[in-house]
Amino acid sequence: METNPAIKKEISAFMAGLKKRNKGETEFHQAVHEVVETIIPFTAEHTKYRDAYILERMTEPDRIITFRVTWEDDAGAIHADRAWRVQFNNSIGPYKGGLRFHPTVTQSVLKFLGFEQVLKNSLTGLPMGGAKGGSNFNPKGRSDREIMRFCQSMMIELHRHIGEDVDVPAGDINVGAREISYLFGTYKRLENRFAGILTGKGLAFGGSLVRKEATGYGAVYFMKHMLEHSGTEVKGKTAAVSGSGNVALYCMEKLIQLGAKVLTASDSSGFIHDPDGITREKLDWLIDLKENRRGRIQEYAEKFGCDFHQGKTPWGVKADLAFPCATQNEVLIEDAQVMVKNGIKAVAEGANMPCTAEATDYFLEHDVLFGPAKAANAGGVAVSGLEQSQNQLRISWSREEVDKRLTTIMEDIHSKCVRYGARKDKPVDYRAGANIAGFVKVADAMLAYGVV
């Protein structure tokens, strides 16, 4: 990106301070850098934000709660894992954001996720602040009972820090319907109250229709708007998708519904390439494999007779569209170069920060439509916001009602990105658009509160 020298200097000075205050937190540095690169040029023109130190305040979480989670496995061995809740910013609503269980979870990872969540939640237009939490607990290979005991133990501490007007966690990697149910059941016993203190709940106890599908559907809706804005459509396109979890599966479902051909899916062991396309029937089988049988993606290749590439990511497969839906930094600069060479038209980030900074720059430099996570995957938290509304009203909306609201929210997010990211003779810079549009709402609230 071309930036004038004074602004470059301001960005470097800001990052030097942030790195000094947050030593070794590389994922957090990466997420903040990506934002300040577009926000500092903006605050240089809108000096009220700079004068009020808004960026410095916005990059410091309100608080971080760290605690031990002790639990007993099926063999009677005792484990002590570490958990966090990073309550980042509640300027525009109660804290909101997921919980992740994964051995790679660190404070840095949760701070990057919490920081991005603040801007993402702002973009949805709903009254939600930003937070993230989770644990370095590794659920892989654990029994249901072990996972239940872990969740129960975690909630024994977490329950005092959350509440429907305080902080409302949800799912993320390895936290789905099963974990949310264990967590909710324990909260209810501890507090003796039935309230919407988590989202992603089961439909029988306050969950919302379409929440499960929302992130994946939303990413495809966002892609649809990016393509339509540049005069084309999803129908007839080929798509490479990574992951085979909650986001990836329903991204594939919506792509199939809209007439695209999905060529790939993956998990942490490798990817499958199905040149005939993952059809509705094959996807049903895959959903059952992943949601009910907790199987590996390799089984798809065995079942349907296609290639499995062990230890690899799908970005070498030629496709029109890409949806990275697994984890952070899964699309590297080398991948971006191959994708551009293969004629990729658009990328929508289903996961959070799946593209490295270098890969993202490369896409933008080569006029690839790039839907950043804050915008493209905001459908999940948006329907979480709708679940909160339904809980407060003590009603349940129909599938059509929720999907209609999700569609409108994704269209609005696209418009906000265009408003702040439109460029002359170049495709919309959705990265800048999403950052600025998300920033302005939170920053205005912080300005209104005075020096707090």
Residues 216, 312: Cα–Cα separation, whole Å? 22
**Residue in 120, 132, 290, 374 annotated catalytic:** 132
Between residues 248 and 252, which has the closer beta carbon with respect to ligand NDP?
248
Instruction: Provide DSSP, 244-294.
Output: -SHHHHHHHHHHHHTT-EE-EEEETTEEEE-TT---HHHHHHHHIIIIIS-
70 binds, among ligand 2IT, ligand NDP, none (CB under 5 to 8 A by kind): none
Which of 61, 114, 196, 380 contacts ligand 2IT by CB under 6 A? 380
x/- site string to ligand 2IT, residues 78 to 107, per CB under 6 A?
A: ------------------xxx---------
CB of 349 to ligand 2IT, least distance (A): 11
For the chain, the 3-state helix, strand and coil shares in percent, each to the nearest 5, are: 50, 15, 30
Residues 386, 250: Cα–Cα separation, whole Å? 18
159 CB contacts (<8 Å, ≥6 apart)?
186, 187, 190, 191
Closest CA to 330 of 343, 344, 311: 311
238 binds, among ligand NDP, ligand 2IT, none (CB under 5 to 8 A by kind): none
327 binds, among ligand 2IT, ligand NDP, none (CB under 5 to 8 A by kind): ligand NDP
Q: Is residue 149 classed as helix, strand or coil in its secondary structure?
A: helix
Query: How large is the greatest C-alpha to C-alpha distance in the chain, in angstroms?
Result: 65
Tokens of 379: 């459908």
Do strands 63-72 and 78-89 pair parallel, antiparallel, or not at all (unpaired)?
antiparallel
Between residues 260 and 325, which has the closer beta carbon with respect to ligand 2IT?
325
CB of 41 to ligand NDP, least distance (A): 27
Asked if 348 touches ligand 2IT (CB under 6 A), the answer is: no
Between residues 207 and 380, which has the closer beta carbon with respect to ligand 2IT?
380
- Per the document, the length of the chain is 452
Between residues 249 and 446, which has the closer beta carbon with respect to ligand NDP?
249
The closest residue (CB) to ligand NDP is 245
Which of 352, 356, 390, 435 contacts ligand 2IT by CB under 6 A? 352
Q: Please indicate whether residue 426 is annotated as part of the active site.
A: no
Beta strands in 157-225 (DSSP E): 167-170
334 CB contacts (<8 Å, ≥6 apart)?
none
Between residues 59 and 384, which has the closer beta carbon with respect to ligand 2IT?
384
Binding site for ligand NDP (CB under 6 A): 171-174, 176, 215, 243-248, 267-269, 325-327, 350-352, 377, 380
CB of 168 to ligand 2IT, least distance (A): 7
Residues 216, 351: Cα–Cα separation, whole Å? 10
Between residues 186 and 384, which has the closer beta carbon with respect to ligand 2IT?
384
Please measure the distance between the N-terminal and C-terminal CA atoms of the chain and give it in whole angstroms.
34
Which of 260, 322, 381, 409 contacts ligand 2IT by CB under 6 A? 381
CB of 328 to ligand 2IT, least distance (A): 11
The catalytic residues are: 132
Q: Would you tell me which residues interact with ligand 2IT (CB under 6 A)?
A: 96-98, 117, 170, 172, 199, 352, 380-381, 384
